[in-house]
Amino acid sequence: MDALIRRRWIGSTAVALLAILSGTGSRVLGAQPRTAAESASCQRVVRDFPARAAAIRRNDDGIARLLDAKHYRQAASALRSAASRHPDAWAGYALGNLYAAGLGVSRNAGVAFRWYLWSAERGNRLAQRNVANAYLDGEGVERNATAAAYWFRIGIAPFQLARIYHGLAETYAGGQLAPVNRSKADYYRDEGLKELRELAKEPNGEAAYYLGLAYERGDGVSRDYAKAAAYLCRAASLQYAPAITAIHHLRDPSK
């Protein structure tokens, strides 16, 4: 059961690499919040996050105990309730696993895929990988290489390339392992930010978080409080917990 609840690193390295390089696939969610209504929505997310996160954690712990005890039918019912009530992205992922394995429910690849997709669209990285694999293998959904590449890009590859670029920028900026080269440092920093901007348009809270920090600190971009707040709010809306702390510590230097 551990394999069902925790990490499933299944997929095609070649397709994942293609996804990194090409950025193929359709957009699922829009860019950062810009309107007053979206800003108010962000404030509600931040305000409600601690209590909501605590409730979800308590609920998920109870469901995990049911799963560990192999009370799969009860767990499936509890997962459906959690997914509809919170909504809890992990619950959708775990429910997809139960349908994929036929534990407590009738085995159904199509229903499993729908739950994985529901969870993936709400930022669950494990579900995103499973959606990519489903599209690649035609499991529960029609094969679609473009969609597989899109979800591999979000769920498997997303951060590796941006991190590599960031590391290269730091290397050339600080003269670590290579002579100081400002032009190369700037180039790799720009490439890393470009990757983050693309990923932040998708259900990827981690990318939005780091892009928000870049705008807050002026790391490779001009400092921009509004953009920092917008990206951090998006990360929070995707249940990326570190964004909440960052938002609380964010201060507009113009005020």
Q: Is the distance from CB of 32 to CB of 209 less than 8 angstroms?
A: no
Are residues 56 and 88 both part of a single domain? yes
Are residues 45 and 112 both part of a single domain? yes
Omega before 87 cis (within 30°)?
yes
Percent of the chain with pLDDT over 90: 27
Are residues 56 and 134 both part of a single domain? yes
DSSP per-residue codes, 134-197: HHHHTSSS---HHHHHHHHHHHTSHHHHHHHHHHHHHHHHHTSSS---HHHHHHHHHHHHHHHH
Q: How confident is the model at residue 36 (pLDDT cuts 50, 70, 90)?
A: low
Q: What is the maximal distance between C-alpha atoms in the chain?
A: 61
Are residues 111 and 173 both part of a single domain? no
Q: What is the pLDDT of residues 4-17, one digit of tens each?
A: 443 332 333 333 33
User: Can you give the CATH number for the domain in which 65 is found?
Assistant: 1.25.40.10
Are residues 138 and 23 both part of a single domain? yes
Are residues 20 and 40 both part of a single domain? yes
| Residue-range definition of the domain harbouring residue 50 | 2-155
Q: How far apart are CA 130 and CA 10, in angstroms?
A: 8
Are residues 133 and 41 both part of a single domain? yes
Q: What is the pLDDT of residues 156-188, one digit of tens each?
A: 655 666 777 777 888 888 877 778 888 888 888
User: What domain count does the chain have?
Assistant: 2
Last residue of a domain, one of 119, 137, 155: 155
Are residues 58 and 165 both part of a single domain? no
Query: Is position 255 within any domain?
Result: no
Are residues 12 and 112 both part of a single domain? yes
Overall average pLDDT of the 204-211 stretch: 84
Q: What is the pLDDT of residues 131-143, one digit of tens each?
A: 999 999 999 999 9
Are residues 139 and 174 both part of a single domain? no
Are residues 145 and 162 both part of a single domain? no
